[in-house]
Amino acid sequence: MSHADTALIVIDVQESFRHMPYWNPEGLDAYLAHQQRLIDGAKAAGIPVVQIFHTRPGSPFDREGGLVRTMDGLSIDPDAVFYKGRHSALAGTGLDIWLTRNGINRLIISGIRTEQCCETTTRHASDLGWNVDFVSEATFTFPMQHADGTVFSQADIVKRTELVLATRFARIVTVDEALAGLGVKKVA
């Protein structure tokens, strides 16, 4: 079975986040291990790995500041790299053109932040006609506080994101399920 129509999208896994006021490394090591397994499995399956970087002038996301680079602890040799200034990796980056030219019909979404750039890219991709697998355990986010004072944990945010994406915009899968779908048995 060929998986030539699939690409792994790795969104915003960059050093910029370590310099934001909301930075919280809780769960980072587990996330990076899941993300690395997904990248390694995609490479083993021979599908393209696309790296996305978020940019914003005058912030830790400014390309001139040296922080718009792969987050320490992750090894990635991308087949393509795109820079975005919006939440969706498909908004004004040329990624959609690259995917179409390469015959990609299915996207595997991973990266940082679960409910923000990963969810937005998933919704956008689905609306444009791509089939999407959303790999929650290969996404990472930070606790957030609602205006009423309620604090939502990372787990709360992931669960909510899965709820709103499931069946409408994406198939929610684990790293193992995503890799099994690529014909990869086990990647350490």
Domain interval for residue 119: 6-181
Residue 25's Cβ-count burial label (10 Å; 0-12, 13-18, 19+) is exposed
Best CA proximity match to 27, nearest among 116, 154, 115: 154
Q: 32 lies in a domain?
A: yes
Q: 71 lies in a domain?
A: yes
Q: 1 lies in a domain?
A: no
Based on the structure, what is the number of domains in the chain?
A: 1
- Asked if 37 and 173 count as a contact pair (C-beta separation under 8 A), the reply is no
- Each residue's pLDDT tens digit, 42-97: 999 999 999 999 999 999 999 999 999 999 999 999 999 999 999 999 999 999 99
Q: 188 lies in a domain?
A: no
Q: 186 lies in a domain?
A: no
Give the pTM. Answer: 0.96
Q: Using CA of residue 54, residue 60, residue 64, residue 67, what is the dihedral sign?
A: negative
Q: 143 lies in a domain?
A: yes
**CATH code (residue 110):** 3.40.50.850
How is residue 50 written in tokens? Answer: 């696309």
- Each residue's pLDDT tens digit, 125-141: 999 999 999 999 999 99
